[in-house]
Amino acid sequence: MSFSITILGSSSAKPTVDRHPSAQIVNVHEQHYLVDAGEGVQQQLIRAGINPLKIREVFISHLHGDHVFGLFPLLSTLGLYGRKTTLRIHAPAPFGELLDVHLRYFDRELPYPVEWSETDTTKHALLMENRTLEVWSIPLRHRVPCAGFLFREKRPPLNVEKYQIERYGLSIAQITAAKRGEDVRLDTGEVIPNAELTYRPYEPRSYAYLSDTNFSARAANLCRGVDLMYHEATYAAAERRAAKERGHSTTLDAAKAALKADAGRLVIGHYSSRYKDEQVLVDEARTIFPETYAAEERTTFTIEKQR
């Protein structure tokens, strides 16, 4: 089952000739979630070959324009596409006021409901869950209330080894018991340990999105062991004073967060427009965390299954 992240925007503050403001699609088992929605997000979805109707829910980290300006025209376009299912948007207050104004003046008669769920940016809390996925908020340190998001796959149910079914002639009832994690008693009275019969199809995978923030040890600890971490790196290390004053991170801050979290891989983005070549920033981060990659737009990072 798929678990991937597609970068739609990698610029900070404003769009440039070849970069768009922050936006990503997280695809978990073909369930698509939009994370931040900077200007131009719907064009980027089309360019990436992603049908906007596939978006199940939206997660907005904070209410700076470069993370939310693209959402409102997308709401209108989804209506033109004929969406019928509810769209839930997770965002800090006072997003509800912005949404109400937009709906009142531009989308009075959308063919689908839009629901806002307030994110408490001070808490590490469960925002959404379904049969296969949990999404948690991660408090961040920015100039306005801001939260990152941890997408964590739930543990898949146990499978029973086919050769063990044949070996012991297991019945449907015995197979069902084994899948529940129980030991199995054969007709002979012999008890077969569950671990001998079953396996996990894969280990749960995870992705952390750490948007605009100063370095936060708490945030890094909350996503410890994450397979893939996105962390903003607006500035090179030489601009650490500007980063601290403006509630942002440097390349080395991002790398230290990934190191502290024991992340598998790090993707950095939200580049200041002063940097024309993001590879310079990637190389700097790699001095601390070698598995660092650029958030190149329309690039997809896949998290592979591990058994």
Contacts of 230 (CB under 8 A, 6+ apart): 5, 24, 207, 208, 209, 210, 266, 267, 268, 269, 295
107: annotated active-site residue: no
Residue 114, phi then psi, degrees to nearest 5: -115, 125
- The angle subtended at Cα 24 by Cα 200 and Cα 277, nearest 5°, is 115
Going by the DSSP 8-state scheme, the letter that residue 67 receives in this structure is: G
- For strand 228-232 and strand 265-269, is the pairing parallel, antiparallel, or unpaired? parallel
List C-alpha distances in Å: 117 to 8, 93, 127, 247. 23, 9, 9, 25
Cis peptide before 94 (omega within 30 of 0): yes
Contact 148/210 with Cβ under 8 angstroms?
Answer: yes
- Check 36, 66, 212, 253 and give the catalytic one: 66
Going by the DSSP 8-state scheme, the letter that residue 219 receives in this structure is: H
Percent helix, strand, coil in the chain, to 5, is 30, 30, 45
Q: Which residues are identified as catalytic?
A: 66
